[in-house]
Chain A
Amino acid sequence: MNTPNNLFYAKTHEWARKEGNKVYVGITDHAQHEITDIVHVELPEVGKKFDKEQPCAVVESVKSAFDIYCPVSGTIVEVNEELLSAPELINQSPYEKGYFFVLELANEEDFKSLMNAEQYTKSIEG
């Protein structure tokens, strides 16, 4: 399972990548593997604010649907619209082409409670 070192992870299997004040958010390789073939996503509205751990998107396979929780609080500034017509990108490239959205970080502190790659790897093995 691929778990890049430069990312932060939530226990609900989202990752967050910080770029200045912007944060890219997606789901982990482990999560996409467990969900299996992703057929649809629902993305949040640009401009909407979310608190940390608030449900903000939905990812769906043929026979199931999962809420995606915001790993850090902030305002959505961009969503990855390509996923709407090609949700398989999440399976193929969970950390790059399959990101869900970008948000503007509201509280730097939120990162403190996220896991690093090592901790996350451990958590999914346990």
Chain B
Amino acid sequence: MNYIPVSDKDKKEMFESIGVKDTQELLSLQIPETLRVKKLNLDKGMSEQQLISLFKKYAQKNKSNLACFRGAGIYDHFVPSIVDEIIGRSEFWTAYTPYQAEASQGTLQAIFEYQSVMCELTGMECSNASMYDGATAVAEAILLAIRASRKNKVIISGALNPEYISVIETYTKNLNIEIVKIDIDSKTGALNKDTLNKFLDESVAAVVVQSPNFFGTIEDMQELSKISKDKKALFVAVVNPVSLGLLKAPGEYGADIAVGEGQVFGNQMYLGGSTFGFMAVTKALEWKMPGRIVGQTVDKDGKRGFVLTLQSREQHIRREKATSNICTNAALNSFAACVYAAYLGSQGIKELAQTNISKARYAFDKIKNIKGFVPLFDNAVFFNEFVFKTDKNIDKINEELLKENILGPIDLGKIDSKYKNCIMFAVTEKRTKQEIDKLAEILSRV
């Protein structure tokens, strides 16, 4: 197959206009012959039909459409039909970055609406147009805090998603930034405020806390934020948008930066590859924020319109002095989230959060009553994810579950040896009572 709409006759006329006899001569005007490659050693091209069967063949090697009780950063939420319909409009998905504002009002207004939705959800004043994913958003939040505070030490919670911690390490290691990781209380599964206080002093640029944290526990963000701000550190809240239908918004507890993974809103799991990071900040930080930002303005005739704004922060103008190197972001994925949030509305988002926590609690209670499973943390308040300790063979459990098309809990021991024999379950609104009962039934007989 190829997608070239130029006939041989056209080509001849084009060569005449250019003044060469063929492609060979044209290329030789630019590239020394000695540098040329003979041919690419790739398979022959194929027709659309052949291509579809090839990829169907790959697809069928996956064990897909499982009843998913696995989370740890990527979650199986239901995606309503309207999301696919709207982001599937070619006027959106084949459009370029909206640099020419007059020809891009659709994309620009959509981004403005996305930013508004994120501001409303997080309670913050300014949102950017998106980052690559939750992990890079947290890393960029740290760089932002360093820039704004002109200090170089950052405290991060040990219960940040380990994938995020790895990315933070990569992003900061060449930049003379000190990262101090503090552990959660092994009893409550949450950060202890006294522990945080012990590490805090005025040399700290920012404190980064995730809630619900990696283990699903809801942190006392109000308290942690207050302690941090008392020592003049910026407070960075890493949050799950689904939880914000029920839990305190970062703006309510005085966070300076709110970031997180947005996949949970309107994006399918795709091997963790259909993500976007969100970042929202206080007014004081808007000119220091990385990434694209859309603002409202008026045109020559006074009519409302939207443009990319505060652009002198960005790499295409500021080059090595830019607030970040980010250019392409995750626009279409964040647009999916905007459509999703708009479809649910504030009421639906609240119901979504309530349903998640209710189903998680239902599952938790079921599992707690099975012999051989003990909650890892006493009295932890969790959202839609929780941890059990078990003396059973975890691989065997997951093998049995998979036979019934259930993707079972994640084996935390494989991520951190400290958590050997610990398994973590995620329960979203998508899991039915029947699936949860089935899970419990299998767990009790393995």
**Does A touch B (CB under 8 Å) in the complex?**
yes
Nearest CB of B to A12, in Å: 16
- Is B312 located at the chain interface by the 8 A CB criterion? yes
Query: Which among B150, B310, B311, B321 is the interface contact of A45 at CB below 8 angstroms?
Result: B150
Known: A39-B312, A40-B310, A40-B312. A64 touches B150 (CB 8 A): no
Are B150 and A60 closer than 8 Å at their CB atoms?
no
Are A63 and B310 closer than 8 Å at their CB atoms?
no
Are B287 and A40 closer than 8 Å at their CB atoms?
yes
Q: Which residue of B lies closest to A39 (CB)?
A: B312
In Å, the complex CA distance between A61 and B311 comes to 9
Nearest CB of B to A56, in Å: 14
- Is A65 located at the chain interface by the 8 A CB criterion? yes
Known: A39-B312, A40-B310. A64 touches B317 (CB 8 A): yes
Are B287 and A63 closer than 8 Å at their CB atoms?
no
| Contacting residues, chain A, for B311 (C-beta < 8 A) | 62-63
Nearest CB of A to B398, in Å: 53
- Is B318 located at the chain interface by the 8 A CB criterion? yes
Q: Total number of A-B contacts with CB less than 8 angstroms? A: 19
In the complex, how many residues of chain B place their beta carbon closer than 8 angstroms to a beta carbon of chain A?
Answer: 8
A11-59 contacts to B (CB < 8 Å): 39-40, 42, 45
In Å, the complex CA distance between A80 and B166 comes to 42
Are B150 and A62 closer than 8 Å at their CB atoms?
no
| Contacting residues, chain A, for B317 (C-beta < 8 A) | 63-65
- A-side interface mostly: strand
In the complex, how many residues of chain A place their beta carbon closer than 8 angstroms to a beta carbon of chain B?
Answer: 10
Are A63 and B150 closer than 8 Å at their CB atoms?
no
In Å, the complex CA distance between A40 and B311 comes to 11
B283-320 contacts to A (CB < 8 Å): 287, 310-312, 317-318
B120-173 contacts to A (CB < 8 Å): 150
Are A65 and B150 closer than 8 Å at their CB atoms?
no
- Among A45, A61, A62, A63, chain B packs the most CB atoms within 10 A around the CB of A62
In Å, the complex CA distance between A118 and B344 comes to 67
Nearest CB of A to B26, in Å: 36
Query: Which among B150, B312, B318, B321 is the interface contact of A61 at CB below 8 angstroms?
Result: B312
| Contacting residues, chain A, for B150 (C-beta < 8 A) | 45
Query: Which among A39, A45, A62, A65 is the interface contact of B318 at CB below 8 angstroms?
Result: A65
In Å, the complex CA distance between A65 and B316 comes to 11
In Å, the complex CA distance between A16 and B150 comes to 27
Q: Which residue of A lies closest to B286 (CB)?
A: A40
Nearest CB of A to B384, in Å: 41
In Å, the complex CA distance between A57 and B310 comes to 17
Nearest CB of B to A60, in Å: 4
Nearest CB of A to B166, in Å: 32
Nearest CB of A to B146, in Å: 15
| Contacting residues, chain A, for B287 (C-beta < 8 A) | 40, 42
In Å, the complex CA distance between A61 and B312 comes to 7
Nearest CB of A to B282, in Å: 14
Are A65 and B310 closer than 8 Å at their CB atoms?
no
Nearest CB of A to B202, in Å: 15
Taking A63-B317, A65-B318 as given, write out 12 further A-B residue pairs in contact, using a Cβ cutoff of 8 Å, ordered by the A residue number.
A40-B287, A40-B310, A40-B312, A42-B287, A45-B150, A60-B312, A62-B312, A63-B311, A64-B312, A65-B312, A65-B317, A65-B321
The interface of chain A, by Cβ under 8 A from chain B, is: 39-40, 42, 45, 60-65
In order of increasing CB-CB distance, the 9 nearest A-B pairs are A60-B312, A65-B312, A65-B318, A65-B317, A40-B287, A64-B317, A63-B317, A40-B312, A64-B312
Q: List 10 A-B contacts (CB under 8 A).
A: A39-B312, A40-B310, A42-B287, A45-B150, A60-B312, A61-B312, A62-B311, A64-B312, A65-B312, A65-B318
